[in-house]
Amino acid sequence: MYFCRKPRTMSSLLNSIRRFLSTYGWVSNKEFMLSLFPSAKYGMIGGSVSLSAISALFVHYLGISPALIPAIAIIIVTEIWTGIRASAKQGKAFESFKFSRCVIKIAIWFALFHCAQSFRNEFESPSTFVEQLGFLFFDVLKLLFMILFVIENTTSIMENEAVLDGKDKSAYIEYVKELFKTFFGAVKGIFGRKKRNNDDESDI
């Protein structure tokens, strides 16, 4: 008797859900689903699911949050694009060999991200002080790799931009180095003056 009633109970439950949804203007299941997944109206549901899956893989295996993925993509695309334009400026044709080298470099960076994230995950629930240190070390190491990725690729972009502007490849790099040297020199001077003032006050 129970099994005979079960389909009827399920049917009444579905009808109740439909009536509930209809009170909010969703007159059919299809209309509700299209409202829940609007990308399906434009045939984009496959791309939406794929993008979500790729983002999840980046987060889990590389430790890169979805917010950082567009930034990394912009850096990579900018480096490739400026590199192609810089080569054209120098009269060099596009070579698949050089593009392959770029792909290999990106793969190496992602491998470093993955290794640091994997070791970090191993210590994610530390039970001892040593495991806590391990988690902290690999968490910092992953952040270090990401910062290095940005610095190194930005350096490459600046080299390409210098070539595009008809300057020496290292022109913008040297300019940035001078800015840093001036900045740290000013900071050092401020702390030096404070130290001398403190020494003078202690002598009085």
Q: Which residue has the higher pLDDT, 129 or 196?
A: 129
Distant-in-sequence, close-in-space partners of 65: CB < 8 Å, separation ≥ 6: 59
Q: What Cα–Cα distance (Å) separates residue 180 from each residue in 49, 148, 184, 185, 188? A: 44, 17, 6, 8, 12
pLDDT of residue 133: 92
Q: Which residue has the higher pLDDT, 182 or 5?
A: 182
As a whole-number percent, the residues of the chain with pLDDT over 90 amount to 5
Q: Which amino acid is at 196?
A: R
C-alpha 131, offset from chain centre? 26
Give the pLDDT confidence of 116-145 residue by residue, as tens digits.
999 998 888 878 888 899 999 998 998 899
Q: What Cα–Cα distance (Å) separates residue 195 from each residue in 104, 184, 185, 202? A: 50, 16, 15, 11
How far apart are alpha carbons 194 and 36 in whole angstroms? 62
- The burial class, CB within 10 Å (0-12 / 13-18 / 19+), for 18 is middle
pTM above 0.85, yes or no: no
